[in-house]
Structure 1
Amino acid sequence: MDDKFCVIGLDLGTTSVKTLTVDQTGVTRFRAARKISTNIGPNGRAVQDPFEIRDALNSVFELALHAARKDGFLVHRVGFSAAMHSLMIVSEEGEPLTQAMTWMDSRAKKQAELLWESLNGKKIYEETGTPIHAMSPFVKLVWLRETQPQLLKMGNRIASVKEWIWHAWFDEWMIDESMAGATGLYDVEKRSWHEHALTRIGVNPAQLSRIVPTSYRQAGCRETRLQLAGLTADTLFSIGSTDGVLANLALGVTDSSKMVFTVGTSMAVRSGAKRKVTNPSLRPFCYRLDDQRFVIGAPSNSGGVILEWLMNMLYGDDRAENVDETLAVLIRDAGNLELQSLYCLPYAAGERAPLWDEEAKASFIGLHLKHQKIHLVRAAIEGMIYNAKWLIDNLSASTGNPEQVYLSGKLFDELWICQLCANVFGVPVVRQTLEDASTIGAILLAADTAEFAQSLKRCERSEKMDPEEEMEEVQRLRFKEYQRLCRLLYPSA
């Protein structure tokens, strides 16, 4: 192996695509990101242009390749991470026949409700590990079968954005086990497509990609612009996994003694297990990492998208170009506020866990004339964390109480938010200084050597925070009040 090599991680997020380059000593050499747009429409429509996504990914990848060549690094391997639950219908040749539906697209909410109320729906959930919800590609396909059946005819393929890009690069239809699990069409124990789910949507296995392990690799990327940027035919690409599973891998959370709380556009709480875990009462997801390990978790819509929505509400058309900087200042200064009798139920995008209600709405309760923009931001952050506490408690019923919770996401750059998490969760939290956990997980899976993993570990820094005894009790009472308010509006929660 060349003495001076690097590994590039790619991540297809909901809000942006990212690339991260790490050299053989574990040092970050380059990073880039590019935002992508989501078209929000009536009746819960939330779609993206697959060509925009692919162009954005190729652009940041191209920049990473140029930087590696300039610094004299051989690109040894490439790892691939992607958000879950995207869905496209494409021709056999790979031509998109639809835009890409995201996990936020809730047009299939009626089908989700009817499926979940049926015995078959609960059985499919228990065997696939994917909750029956409008986020699920399986449920979206039930909706498409009822509303646009011509799209599912033989000859047309069903794919995630990640599969579509992989096909464009390597001329093969492949899907890793974790992404297959996120479709709701995969039998997580039999490790094959779920026959009854396919029958329900009238789809043949030939219309789906071949399922491969997360360790699957391929060389010979045929993207011309990447070749011109310095990519060689020998560079091995790892098909990788989903963003959540890879974040757990990067943080070393692969058993039930720890949990990860990740905040991006959405948010999730995840733990690990050595067996399949499902629970129809709480509906945790269960996706396969490898032959022996599973990632168990609870997904929520109420992540960073809530702060983005709030900024739009507060500033409207007057939003400055430096809106991210404005939000960062508000978040920073919100840590100096005293506790308020103001609560935010952060469900502006509907909600998955713990409510499982696509019609859920955001609420601010306790507003007063004295409250300003910064108070709303503080309440929204608290609402996200109380919601996460609810997810942790529900997940603990299946996996056991965690000894500590790892925090992952840019939100936790603010130490007061980390301390708030410790006080609310009632257990120590660990703030990692990883560049991006999902992308680092993709890099680890691609490199697949103990030496490389140790190099990355040496470059990590973490900070542990214990609950503050006095504030822990205060937050316990506030969390109980938060739940009470939620249950007044959503009695089934």
Structure 2
Amino acid sequence: MKYSIGIDIGTTTVKCILFGEGVQVVAEAGREYKTLLPKASWAQQNPEDWWKGVAESIRSILTESRVAPEDIKVISVSSQAPAVLPMTKEGEPLHDALIWMDRRSTKELEILEEKIGTKKVYEITGNRLDTYFTLTELMWFLRNHPDMMKKCHKILQVNGYINYKLTEVFSIDATHASLTQLYDVHNNCWSEELFEAIGGDTKIMPDIYDCMDVIGHVSKKAAEETGLSTKTVVLGGAVDASAAALEVGVYGDGSIAEMTGTSSVVMFGFDGLVTCNELSYLRGVKENTTILFGAMNTAGGSLKWFRDALYGGETPQNDAYPRINKEIEAGAKNPTGLIFLPYMAGERAPIWDPNARGTFMGLNMNTTRAEMLRAVMEGTSFALQDNLDQAIKTGIPIRDFICCGGCSKSDIWLKIKASVIGQEIKIPSVNLGAPGGLGYMNAAFMGEYKTPEDASRAALQIKKIVEPVEEWIPIYKELYQIYLDSYQSLKSQFAVLAQIK
């Protein structure tokens, strides 16, 4: 019997799944970790927390499954992206990792706008200039920590760090490279022009591996810490969105899905290289494929904030979300008339505003907690519609809409979302997110399928369809317009607030 492991390093949780033949789940485990928020718009994580979560999760699934470590043939790792983690030659982090939520590099963005221009950055990378990407964040390190950066040997992404801990090899996979905004997507190389603009050197970037290339074997040290065998190979891996897209069939023309967790990403699949200024470019798991995506920073993150700040004192965290769903279904059965702007960590697509902030509008003395919770779900659904509108403007048809990820487990949220976008939402039977796509990659590597796409086609089945609530649709159309107008009205105030320390 051959087994494999898929590991996803999300924004809040490590998720580790042991797969048997036929991409069957044998065991799974996960661990939460903290995001450090030292200042407004700053977001960083201790990479050792990721590794601790990975090592504990692997040991947990080995204990639960009683699978012999030498029978685990391959491991793939996906992760949140992009990030910036400077490493010494000896493999020690020099700083916490700046994760995708971080927005501290606004000054660097302004410098690059002046120095090289947004158009040029887009022409080279396929992505608009924004603090979301590695480009401005790496420049922040170079400008603010020059002495530290002299010790920096390589810059790693999140899964790159876990791959290093597993193999002692510095690496970056092709999907992560495409999302750094340091990579020339037309010439398939690191951009000397962009590195010169930020005062860096391309030598600081690790070798690029394709998603299913072998990086190396599990090292002796990693085997001791995890219980794995040194015979197990580790593949290049992928951005979580690329892996999740593979699971739900987004790997070619005409496919569309939403991966919804801490952030929410709506993904459109294309053959070949396709870029769009309103949406972000990401290479698919398969070479010469594109995923255009609209990414919202804090979809599930907004509800998690509410859970921790306003709901956390009365219920265990692992029981909170089911109770939240029941409270909404009982106490806020219809559209609220409230507006929630879900910009808790600035926003990416489609407004691209690092200064934007979370906002409730329309509160009154009769407003209940259930209504505020529902408004959070409504606001994040409006953000999704905003991205779908951008796709429609560029000629992308919106058909079969599949939703996967943690937030797709909430029936009330799915009903709200279907009513906002005005069409049915399909939920797949297998809803593992990124680890599911990793499982398909592993299965293809072991020869069970010819390609990961074949594995995806064989596994993709729809277990349920969520229909819009007809009487909600016209109400949400009105509220959606107010949502759009609200941001435009507050945009300048957000910018002023951001300057107040």
Q: Same fold (TM over 0.5)?
A: yes
Aligned partner of 2:355 among 353, 359, 365: 359
Residue 77 of structure 2 corresponds to 80
Residue deviations 1:87-137 (CA, integer Å, cap 9, x gap): 111111211111111111111022224434665332122321343222211
Query: 1:468 offset after TM fit, Å?
Result: 4.7
1:212 aligns with 2:209: yes
Residue 394 of structure 1 corresponds to 390
Aligned partner of 1:376 among 353, 363, 372: 372
Aligned partner of 2:145 among 148, 154, 157: 148
Aligned to 1:431, what secondary structure does the other structure show?
strand
Residue deviations 1:165-219 (CA, integer Å, cap 9, x gap): 3223223222111011121111122111111111122322222101121121244
Aligned partner of 1:56 among 49, 53, 69: 53
Query: 1:403 offset after TM fit, Å?
Result: 0.8
Deviates more, 1:23-32 or 1:320-329: 320-329
Residue 440 of structure 1 corresponds to 436
Query: 1:466 offset after TM fit, Å?
Result: 3.9
Aligned to 1:9, what secondary structure does the other structure show?
strand
Deviates more, 1:440-449 or 1:146-155: 146-155
Residue 485 of structure 1 corresponds to 486
Aligned partner of 2:316 among 303, 314, 322: 322
Change (3 A) 1:345 1:227: same
1:209-358 equivalences in 2 (<5 Å): 209-224=206-221, 226-227=223-224, 230-280=227-277, 282-315=278-311, 319-320=313-314, 322-336=316-330, 337-358=333-354
CA distance in 1, matches of 2:371, 2:419: 19
Contact 1:46 1:101 in 2 (8 A): yes
Contact 1:262 1:268 in 2 (8 A): yes
Contact 2:86 2:152 in 1 (8 A): no
Residue deviations 1:238-293 (CA, integer Å, cap 9, x gap): 2210000111111001234232222211111111112333333x243333433221
CA distance in 2, matches of 1:181, 1:225: 28
Change (3 A) 1:113 1:262: farther
CA distance in 1, matches of 2:414, 2:470: 15
For 1:249, the aligned partner's letter is L
For 1:406, the aligned partner's letter is I
Q: What is the aligned residue count? A: 487
RMSD: 2.6
1:182-197 equivalences in 2 (<5 Å): 182-197=179-194
Residue deviations 1:289-326 (CA, integer Å, cap 9, x gap): 332211111111121111121223324xx624603413
Contact 1:297 1:395 in 2 (8 A): no
Change (3 A) 1:312 1:167: closer
Change (3 A) 1:327 1:469: closer
For 2:170, the aligned partner's letter is W
> Percent identical across equivalent pairs?
23
CA distance in 2, matches of 1:198, 1:272: 29
Can you give the 5+ residue segments of structure 2 that lack an aligned partner in the other structure? 495-501
CA distance in 2, matches of 1:286, 1:396: 19
Can you give the 5+ residue segments of structure 1 that lack an aligned partner in the other structure? none
CA distance in 2, matches of 1:327, 1:469: 26
Contact 1:68 1:75 in 2 (8 A): no
Contact 2:169 2:216 in 1 (8 A): no
Deviates more, 1:154-163 or 1:70-79: 70-79
Contact 2:429 2:460 in 1 (8 A): no
Query: 1:9 offset after TM fit, Å?
Result: 0.7
Query: 1:33 offset after TM fit, Å?
Result: 0.4
CA distance in 1, matches of 2:34, 2:248: 29
CA distance in 2, matches of 1:332, 1:71: 42
CA distance in 2, matches of 1:375, 1:121: 41
Contact 2:30 2:57 in 1 (8 A): yes
Deviates more, 1:460-469 or 1:438-447: 460-469
Contact 2:154 2:170 in 1 (8 A): no
Residue 450 of structure 1 corresponds to 449
CA distance in 2, matches of 1:322, 1:231: 33
CA distance in 2, matches of 1:25, 1:215: 18
Residue 158 of structure 2 corresponds to 161
Contact 1:237 1:446 in 2 (8 A): no
Query: 1:491 offset after TM fit, Å?
Result: 7.1
Residue 411 of structure 1 corresponds to 407
TM (norm. structure 2) is: 0.90
Query: 1:328 offset after TM fit, Å?
Result: 2.5
Residue 2 of structure 2 corresponds to 5
Change (3 A) 1:459 1:250: closer
TM (norm. structure 1) is: 0.91
For 1:444, the aligned partner's letter is Y
Change (3 A) 1:71 1:473: farther
Residue 46 of structure 1 corresponds to 43
Residue 463 of structure 2 corresponds to 462
CA distance in 1, matches of 2:406, 2:161: 29
CA distance in 2, matches of 1:458, 1:259: 17
Contact 1:10 1:61 in 2 (8 A): no
Contact 1:130 1:181 in 2 (8 A): no
Aligned partner of 1:132 among 120, 129, 132: 129
